[in-house]
Structure 1
Amino acid sequence: MSNPAFTSSIDFTATDYTLIEEKTAYQGFFALRKLTLKHKLFKGGWTQPIHRELFVRGQAVGVLAYDPWQDKVVMVEQFRVGAMNDPKSPWLLEVIAGMIEENEPPEAVAHRETKEESGLTILHLEHLYTYYSSPGGSDEQIILYLGIVDSNQVNNGDIGGLATEHEDLRVTLLHRTDALQETINGKAANTLSIIALQWLTLNHQRLQASWVKQQPQ
């Protein structure tokens, strides 16, 4: 094993790897690229050339649509091809989300997707996290926001989404604790929803205290 005192002093940056070759293996709704690269080692020196496939998805925005007055969360249910082999159902419950278009500010995506998927208007937007969803093989980066909403503007079971994008979404209004339970039950067992709802578990009291006197018009 390497000397811990030596490895702990190293902080690698974006200049400590070399991309030797990049080819597009597939281009469709998403892209797959074949990479050859090498990077520095904690023990010193460089790796031999490494061959990897990278699933290219880009950046996406997630919105935890929360009503602090009713202590409810607005989520959407939709078919997900990645869950086709789920023994229960490939229809998953998720927080609102959407891809960022070229040169589009993420805050604008948050407002647009919330309106398209649920019909709601965000009253206040707060950045929570920016993280990689699966960096072992994908470049997807999630920018997660809290969106304060008035859930009285939505009906449970409303249909949302854009037909031009083949979206068929069912709006689901849940009490905060019921939404969290769905991550355990498996209906909302996706990273975006789990991260958002666990954050809400830790912060709902602060939100309720700060918004209780600001009733929506």
Structure 2
Amino acid sequence: MTDPALLRDEPFTPAGGSSELVFAGKVWDVRRDTFGYNGDQLVREYVAHTGAVAIVALDADGRVLLIQQYRHPIRHRDWEIPAGLLDVAGEPPEQAARRELAEEADMTAAEWTPLTSVFTTPGGNDEIVHIYLAQHLTRTDGAFDRDGEEADIRVEWVPLADAVTAVLEGRMRNGILAVGVLAAAERLRRAEPGG
């Protein structure tokens, strides 16, 4: 492969097959697909996900907004960037990102830039997360009600370089946070003169 522009994921739909609902969950379902691939009949189970958005909110001092909350599957209070599900029918991802920033961090942003989109666990679910850079931030008047794991969210403003270092040193392991802060740092570096 000599042309870097050709380096991209390729959509592919196997011929034939079937899909059945194995478990209908409160938020996500589990599906079992049977399909032909390379002459074999394969069966794969996966989480059918609504998709999500995430936000790297960066203030005028170059600090990123991080939140920490309990995540039961990993038994950690991990550091994250504001994020949320694409669970409103017909809502475009950027609008969902605006909504989630307000709901999770009581913030709005005047400038929104798409950073990247990632498949979080392509061997186990079909989730795609659209990550945005939000700048020119303003605090909103009313806080949203938070319960469950969100009731005791910890909010910190951290220099972007410190967040990058924490990711590279393995101290913050949330995948969406890692992709978001690394992508934001690289985007800002490339925007600098000589970057």
Which range, TM-score by smaller chain? 0.7 to 0.9
Q: Aligned AA for 2:128?
A: Q
Whether 2:178 is the aligned partner of 1:180: answer no
| Matched pairs, number | 180
Report whether the alignment pairs 1:167 with 2:150. yes
Partners of 2:16 and 2:174 in 1: how far apart? 32
Match of 1:80 in 2: 71
Normalised by the length of structure 2, the TM-score is: 0.81
Pick the aligned partner of 1:37 from 23, 35, 38.
35
Map 1:18-57 onto structure 2 (within 5 A): 18-29=15-26, 30-39=28-37, 46-57=38-49
Helix, strand or coil at the partner of 1:163: coil
Counterpart pick for 1:146 among 111, 133, 144 = 133
Q: Which residue of 2 aligns with 1:66?
A: 58
For residue 92 of structure 1, the aligned residue among 73, 78, 88 is 78
Matched, 1:190 2:188: no
Q: What amino acid is aligned across from residue 100 of structure 1 in structure 2?
A: L
- Structure 2: distance between partners of 1:75 and 1:207: 23
Q: Which has the higher strand share?
A: 2
Q: Once the 2 structures are TM-superposed, how far is the Cα of residue 131 of structure 1 from its aligned partner? A: 2.1
In terms of Rg, which structure is larger?
A: 1
TM-score normalised to the size of structure 1?
0.73
Please state whether the residue corresponding to 1:79 is helix, strand or coil: strand
Identity of aligned residues (%): 24
Letter in 2 for 1:163: R
For the structure 1 residues 61 and 141, does the alpha-carbon distance in structure 2 shift closer, same or farther, using more than 3 Å as the test? Answer: same
Deviations 1:38-88 (A, max 9, x none): 13xxxxxx3221011011112100111112x2010011111112211xxxx
* Root-mean-square deviation over aligned CA pairs: 2.6
Give the Å deviation of 1:186: 4.3
Q: CA deviation at 1:125?
A: 0.5
Change (3 A) 1:22 1:189: same
Q: Distance in 2 between matches of 1:193 and 1:139?
A: 19
**Matched-pair contact (CA < 8 Å) for 1:161–1:167:** no
Deviation at 1:144, TM superposition (A): 0.9
Q: Which runs of 4+ in 1 moved over 3 A?
A: 11-15, 184-187, 205-209
d(CA) in 1 for partners of 2:184 and 2:78?
20
Structure 1 gap ranges (5+):
1-10, 40-45, 85-89, 155-159, 210-217
